[in-house]
Amino acid sequence: MSSRNYNSDDGAVMHGEFMAFVNEDQTLRVMRNWAERQGFPIATVQQGGADMFAQMLESASPPKMVMIDIDDQTDPVAAITRLISLSGSDCKLIVIGSANDVALYRQMLNAGIVDYLVKPLIPENLNQAMAAALRGRSVGKSENKEAKLVIVIGTRGGVGASTIAVNTGWLLAHELKFNCALLDLDLQFGTTSLALDLEPGRGLRDIVNSPQRVDGLMIASSIVPESDQFSVLGAEEAVDEYVPMDSGAITALLKEMMGNFDYIVVDLPKHLLASQKRLLTTAHEIVLVTELSLAGIRDSLRIKTALNSLSCTGNLTVVASRVGQGRTGQVDPAAFEKGAQIKIDLTIPEDHKSVTLAANGGKALGSIARNAAVTKALLALAQKLSGGAKAGAQGKENFLQKLLGSAKKSSVKKEINP
């Protein structure tokens, strides 16, 4: 890598897709390493900050995405506002700075930036910011568009609710091409991150603790992208600690996330049912996962009654899970429906082989067992939840998607051919 500092006097050229303007050496180094790995020429990362970008804009069109260090600015918001008016709305601006200040962050979001990254920079955050730029909207800014909230709840432990939440989310994202987030509200024993071989982010515990602390910056730093279309918010808190959860904070969290995704799938542990009534009443879709057993009959009936008494307006989808010959204590579906006074909408077969393969490989069923009956049943669920809608109109792969593709694990590139 060249140690030469490029500047406009040097004849630096504005790249059509990406540029970064930073101030000090540490940020320069991290940014150049990252840019190089993304396949951008080294000269796309310049030492010079906001002023240099403004200067280059006098004689060149802006790139599609630009990262700006604002530490040298006395009035960062004014500087950013000016840059946005100079560069136009097609140029996505990501700001970098040392100040960890929510008020400043909000002001800059309102000015129209896509994301704000607090130094020191780490490549994961850069990837994430690029994903936000790819989605064409800020990570914290609410838009008119509202995500569909899908809550998955199991009648009993082990019925496969988490497996369904993870894989349905994955299919909504990868197969049906929606922007999807998965929120795992089992902060201690949740398995969604594990199932996708992701390191759970830090911060969800603080978020669910107090509504005052919910903000876009905090969510952005806690959410882990699995790919450009699919992100996971989960935790692995100590098992011997009490983890308090404030229902107001969860509502605030979802409200903050709503503008940024097409679907938010929540894996709701059933012991939270009583404390998360507000969440249930705001859901657009509730997926009740049950096994076909006597206990399943009793608890499906009880949960359905509880949902009715909460006046939940969301659609209820009843999923008979892990159905098959390998399972003991099963009743037949007609007896189940009669006993629970409930109609089974979908059946997910027991498939020990595929589910074990996926679990042990940290991969979604859609990527590792794409033709298995269990995957097809999950795809039918994803389709039902999306109202039979076709792909989320992401259109052709653009440059950012290609780049993200190269940064992603290979598994997420596989497509399902149902």
Ligand X SMILES: Nc1ncnc2c1ncn2[C@@H]1O[C@H](COP(=O)(O)OP(=O)(O)O)[C@@H](O)[C@H]1O
What would the DSSP string read from start to end of 188-252?
TT--HHHHTT-PPPS-HHHHHH-GGG--HHHHHHH-EESSSSEEEE-----TTS-----HHHHHH
**Does the protein bind ligand X through residue 329 (CB under 6 A)?**
no
Q: Which residues contact 114 (CB under 8 A, 6 or more apart)?
A: 92, 93, 94, 129, 132, 133, 137, 138, 139
**162 binds ligand X per the rule CB under 6 A:** yes
Q: Helix 161-174 vs helix 373-385: angle between axes, to the nearest 10 degrees?
A: 70
Q: How far is the CB of 355 from ligand X (least distance, A)?
A: 4
Q: Radius of gyration over alpha carbons of the chain, in Å?
A: 23
Binding region for Mg ion (CB under 5 A) out of 35-43, 154-162, 278-286, 352-360: 154-162
Among 163, 290, 317, 330, binds ligand X (CB under 6 A): 163
Our finding on whether 192 is near ligand X (CB under 6 A) is: no
- How far is the C-alpha of 231 from the C-alpha of 379, rounded, in Å? 18
Kindly state the smallest distance separating residue 197's Cβ from Mg ion, in Å: 17
Q: Does 343 sit near ligand X (CB under 6 A)?
A: no
Rounded distance between C-alpha atoms, residue 108 and residue 117, angstroms? 12
Residue type, 46: Q
Q: Does 162 help bind Mg ion (rule: CB under 5 A)?
A: yes
- Closest separation between CB of residue 163 and ligand X, Å? 3
Edge-to-edge strand list for the sheet holding 115-118: 45-47, 18-22, 65-69, 92-97, 115-118
**Total of chain residues touching Mg ion, rule CB under 5 A:** 2
For the segment 349-368, give every residue that binds ligand X (CB under 6 A).
Answer: 350-352, 355, 359
Nearer to ligand X, 306 or 359 (CB): 359
Q: What does 98 bind: ligand X, Mg ion, none (CB cut-off 5 to 8 Å by kind)? A: none
Least distance in angstroms from the C-beta of 153 to ligand X: 9
Count residues near ligand X (CB under 6 A): 17
Per-position x/- string for 285-324, each x denoting binding to ligand X as judged by CB under 6 A, each - no binding: -------------------------------------x--
Task: Please identify the residue of the shown chain whose CB is closest to the bound Mg ion.
Answer: 162
- Site track 101-140 with ligand X (rule: CB under 6 A), x = hit: ----------------------------------------
Q: Taking the complex as a whole, how short is the minimal distance between the CB of residue 247 and ligand X, in angstroms?
A: 21
Q: DSSP readout, 68-129?
A: EE-TT-SSHHHHHHHHHHHH-TTSEEEEEES---HHHHHHHHHHT-SEEEESSP-HHHHHHH
Decide: helix, strand or coil at residue 12.
Answer: coil
From residue 337 to residue 366, the character string flagging contacts with Mg ion as x (rule: CB under 5 A) and all else as - is ------------------------------
Q: Which is nearer to ligand X, 254 or 374 (CB)?
A: 374
Instruction: Please identify, using beta-carbon distances, which residue of 156 and 409 lies nearer to Mg ion.
Output: 156
Q: Which of 48, 62, 63, 154 binds ligand X (CB under 6 A)?
A: 154
Q: Which residues are within 8 A (CB) of 302 and not within 5 positions of it... i.e. 6 or more apart?
A: none
The CB-of-208 to ligand X minimum distance in angstroms stands at: 19
Among residues 19 and 161, whose Cβ is nearest to ligand X? 161
Sequence-distant (≥ 6) Cβ neighbours of residue 53 within 8 angstroms: 19, 21, 66, 68, 83, 87
DSSP character string of 327-380: -SSPPPHHHHHHHHT----EEEE--HHHHHHHHHHT--HHHH-TTSHHHHHHHH
Binding site for Mg ion (CB under 5 A): 161-162
Binding site for ligand X (CB under 6 A): 154, 157-163, 191, 322, 348, 350-352, 355, 359, 374
